[in-house]
Amino acid sequence: MKINSISANFSVKSYGQNKLTPKKVTVPMPCDSVSFTGKNDNPKKVIILLGAPNSGKGTYARQISENLGIPQISTGNILRKEVKDGTDLGLQAKSYMESGGLVPDELIMQIFKKRISEKDCANGFVLDGFPRTLNQARQLDNILSEDKNTVTQIVNLDVEKSILYYRSAARYTCEDCSRTYSIKENYNPETAKCDCGGRLVKRADDTPEVLSKRLENYDKQTKPLIDYYGDRVSNITVQSKDTPAGEIIDTIMDKIG
């Protein structure tokens, strides 16, 4: 039930005639999306994709975004653009990213808050690579609760480690739109192009050395989020590199319905 205003009869004393006169007063509600019961009548869809580096978060987040008509927010893509543009933020983030470490929470929260304040996030968003620490997860809960929203679905992609290394070696990323492609052999950087026309390049952190550092950090700092969200997490296990991506996205869509 949406409440736009409250009406009530108040007794107002009229001094001239020394008698009580009922008077109708209408008080407008300050916010039209929050009902009288304290619930949000137009809740955002906030979907989190958890999973190790190379587990496919980006690929599935993009498909969920297309299916549900809400934007994908990848903090990694935002950071890579800042690095490419040589901004202050990019300069601060670069060394953490290249070494396989996590960018400090303070910088991440800054870019996250800015991104979700944009118009296209009004109905929700799919989070890919955020939150990555317990502190980020708690701050996300606080931000959402400010307008009576909450995380609506959490999907955890549990992918066999050998597949993560295989995918890292095969992955090329579009310089312009960040879409990723799996290209193992016969890759010719002169001719292979993204659907958007952008050049496909190897990410600086797609090396076995950096990946093992990233996996170490994932185990220490990000994996605890699975316990944090507890039974709200839908687990999707991928044990073979040959499992078709279409099959996985169908399972995800079934779970987040």
Which of 48, 52, 97, 116 is in the footprint of ligand AMP by CB under 6 A? 97
Which of 44, 62, 167, 214 is in the footprint of ligand AMP by CB under 6 A? 214
Q: Which of residues 168-207 bind ligand AMP (CB under 6 A)?
A: 205
CA distances to 24, 153, 156, 223, 225 from 130, in Å:
50, 14, 12, 12, 11
Question: Is 71 among the residues that bind ligand AMP (CB under 6 A)?
Answer: no
Residue of 203, 213, 223, 241 marked active site: 203
Whether 57 is a known active-site residue: answer yes
Question: Is 215 among the residues that bind ligand AMP (CB under 6 A)?
Answer: no
To the nearest whole angstrom, how small is the minimum distance from the Cβ of residue 150 to ligand AMP?
19
Question: Is 56 among the residues that bind ligand AMP (CB under 6 A)?
Answer: no
To the nearest whole angstrom, how small is the minimum distance from the Cβ of residue 185 to ligand AMP?
24
Which of 29, 35, 89, 96 is in the footprint of ligand AMP by CB under 6 A? 96
Angle between helices 88-99 and 208-217 (to 10 degrees): 100
Which of 103, 109, 151, 236 is in the footprint of ligand AMP by CB under 6 A? 103
Structure letter (DSSP) for residue 163: H
Per-position b or e across 76-109, b if 16+ CB within 10 A of its CB: bbbbbebbeeeeebbebbbeebeebbbbebebbb
β partners of residue 193: 199
Comparing CA positions, the residue from 139, 129, 161 lying closest to residue 62 is 129
- SS3 category, 46: strand
Question: Is 75 among the residues that bind ligand AMP (CB under 6 A)?
Answer: yes
Q: How many Å is the Cα radius of gyration of the chain?
A: 24
Whether 115 is a known active-site residue: answer no
Q: Could you list the residues that contact ligand AMP (CB under 6 A)?
A: 53, 74-76, 79, 96-97, 101-103, 108, 129-130, 132, 136, 205, 214
